[in-house]
Amino acid sequence: MRILLMGNPNVGKSVLFSRLTGVHVITSNYAGTTVHYTQGFMKLGEYQVEVIDVPGTYTLEPTCEAEEVARRIIDSGDIIINVVNATNLERNLYLTLQLLEKKVKLIVALNMWDDTRHQGINIDLDGLRKALGVPVIPTVATTGEGIKTLVENIPKAVSLEIPVRSHEERWAAVGNIIEHIQQVTHRHHTFSERLADASVRSFSGALIAIIVLTAAFIIIRFIGETLIGYVFDPLFEKFWVPVLTGLSVLLEGNGFLHNILVGTLIEGNVDFVQSFGLLSSGLYVPFAMVLPYIISFYLVLGFLEDTGYLPRLAVLADTIMHRLGLHGYAIIPTLLGFGCNVPAILSTRILESKRERFIAATLISIAVPCAALQAMIFGLLGSHGWKYVAMVYSTLFVIWIVLGTILRQIVKGFTPELLIEIPPYRLPPWKTTLQKLWMRTYGFLMEAVPMILGAILVVNVLFFLGVFEVIADFTAPVVNGVLGLPKEAVTALIVGFLRKDVAVGMLAPLSLTAEQLVVGCVVLAMFFPCIATFVVLLRELGIINMLKSAAIMITAALITGGLLNFIL
């Protein structure tokens, strides 16, 4: 049996999906599209049944690719759970009536039921059940209220024989239902409601966004640095250094194998960043340097998602994003990019047009440094003074604006208007937030650790064969003349294709000035993406658009690096 979860965007459908299936799910592309759906399994009686979280849609008369997928996927389901926002019945019931006309087995989950009490909305449940002719179960997905009753009633889903109505007839039917089953009583606005209104106004919303994003940045740094200083560094120093020191003694005399596994010992001590061995830098970089910032970033991001702030940020950013050929929802992939560019580019699927996806993916790859890269930038430049860190970030921000404006003019296509349902503010359940944190962190480790180990192995072999010396001599006019960096920096540029954070770390032994480090960090951030991002770009954009995007990256990086070298 296959159960489909369908509903408008931002009605709590994904939270309900997590409640039903747990966290072990599969995300797949719908055939022939870049739109994805999430698949999981749940226990229904004695049987295990498949559950599909269908892309959110307002109507079965599609206006974008995601809504087209939602319409086409209906025929594959045995039962549909229509997730409805109880605080916005009039908007949500239009889709419900369309689903009833499809003659599918349907049950309605009246979600956000707790908010109806807060907002003075009184709904006659028996009257709504009678009007629709199908089971209607009130639920609060964030707390689990009503979920058990919903599951128990899934087998009672009903298929009705209802003639297909016109657009006007459907809205008339919705209005008639609302008139008879819903009453709204006068009540004073709560603080959260006033805050919600202020969050999307131009002036107050901008202030709130600055406060929220600044606080998020400070919290991310505080948690990340605390984990590094008090957890991961002591663990490596106390438990792993003795192991590597002993292994170094055993491998004495075998220089090549020693350099591959342990790396270079500096005055008899293990330097986890500069040693560049598989068991030294290969483990320290992902676990002790990058993982703490990944944990802190995804913790903060999950909290902002679940409180309902991100949709408001999308509305607030819509005007700016339109100037870049995007709409406000592109701010969400952009923010995800500060954690990792791979899920950020994957999440550009929420954007309706190929033009938007190309622009968003290109800008993310060029101007949005991932958490791993940021950790290395902080580590490398922080000791020289925070003004140099600010130079890197301000340069990338200017490039994001300028390049986005240029792409808006030269990339053909259209940018649709932002149509988004904004959920009420609510405190998220920590269990849900921590579940998402675990999934995202686990996914990062599965992707990052093999990449870093592979990069270090390849670099060591190429060094041994003398390949980097040849490349460094060939590219010296560009690296030294245009960027103002020593020819040895070409090694970092090449390694950047494998892993950008490792590449930035390779600038440390070159004795560069603070100004040269700024140029190096900016160029590496903008240059050709790491191999994982490259693979995702190829899959999402196709080979032609991926090559166009790569050409834009290389050109922009060299021009920006040259200008920075001239200015600094």
Classify burial at 257, counting beta carbons within 10 Å of its beta carbon; exposed 0-12, middle 13-18, buried 19 or more.
exposed
State how far the Cα of 220 lies from the Cα of 298, in Å rounded to an integer. Answer: 9
**Structure-token pair, residue 484:** 């103002």
Per-residue HEC secondary structure of 160-193 comes to CCCCCCCHHHHHHHHHHHHHHHEEECCCCCCHHH
Instruction: Indicate if 450 and 491 belong to the same structural domain.
Output: yes
Name the β-bridge partners of 7.
83
Give the Cα separation of 75 and 35 in Å (integer): 17
pLDDT at residue number 74: 87
Q: Are residues 159 and 231 in the same domain?
A: no
pLDDT of 363: 93
- The model's pLDDT over 534-567, given as tens digits with 9 standing for 90+, comes to 777 887 788 899 899 989 998 999 999 999 988 8
SS3 339: coil
Task: Single out the residue in 134, 158, 187 at which a domain terminates.
Answer: 187
pLDDT of residue 27: 44
In a domain? residue 192 = no
Distance (Å, rounded) from C-alpha 302 to C-alpha 293?
14
Specify whether 110 is located in the same domain as 212. Answer: no
Residue 242 belongs to a domain: yes
**pLDDT value at position 182?**
92
Domain limits for position 98: 2-187
Whether 196 is covered by a domain: the verdict is no
282 & 151 share domain: no
Closest CA to 294 of 412, 159, 440, 482: 440
| Nearest Cα to Cα of residue 176 among 113, 84, 86, 97 | 97
106 with 210, same domain: the answer is no
Q: Is there a domain that residue 30 lies in?
A: yes
Residues 244 and 340 in one domain: yes
Is residue 373 domain-shared with residue 469, that is, in the same domain?
A: yes
Q: Are residues 104 and 238 in the same domain?
A: no
> Do you know the residue count of the chain?
568
What angle separates helix 89-101 from helix 167-181, to the nearest 10 degrees?
A: 120
Q: What are phi and psi of 2, to 5 degrees?
A: -120, 125
Residue 239 sits in the same domain as residue 156? no
The answer to whether residue 423 sits within a structural domain is no
- What are the strands, taking DSSP E only, across 261-363? 265-266, 269-270
Q: Is residue 194 part of a domain?
A: no
Output the six-digit token pair for 153. Answer: 């009633």
In the chain, the N- to C-terminal Cα span, in Å, equals: 65
CA distances from 418 to 84, 330, 399 (A): 21, 10, 24
Q: Are residues 181 and 247 in the same domain?
A: no
The per-residue pLDDT for 78 is: 92
Identify whether the C-beta of residue 260 lies closer than 8 Å to the C-beta of residue 457. yes
Q: Answer yes or no: is 421 within a domain.
A: no
- The residue to which tokens 């060591």 are assigned: 460
CA-to-CA separations, 535 to 24, 360, 525, 532, in angstroms, rounded: 24, 16, 17, 5
Q: Which of 560, 563, 537, 532 is nearest to 550 (CA)?
A: 537
The predicted structure's pLDDT at residue 395: 94
Instruction: Provide the domain count of the chain.
Output: 2
Q: Which of 559, 562, 310, 340 is nearest to 441 (CA)?
A: 340
- Tell me which of 153, 187, 221 is where a domain ends: 187
In this predicted structure, what is the pLDDT of residue 332? 77
What's the gap between Cα 108 and its chain centre?
Answer: 30
Residue 297 located in a structural domain: yes
Residues of the chain scoring pLDDT < 70: 22-36, 66, 143, 187, 253, 265-274, 350, 352, 414-422, 447-448, 451, 468, 472, 497-499, 531-532
Among 125, 158, 187, which residue terminates a domain? 187
Are residue 442 and residue 502 in the same domain, yes or no?
Answer: yes
Query: What CATH number corresponds to the domain at position 93?
Result: 3.40.50.300
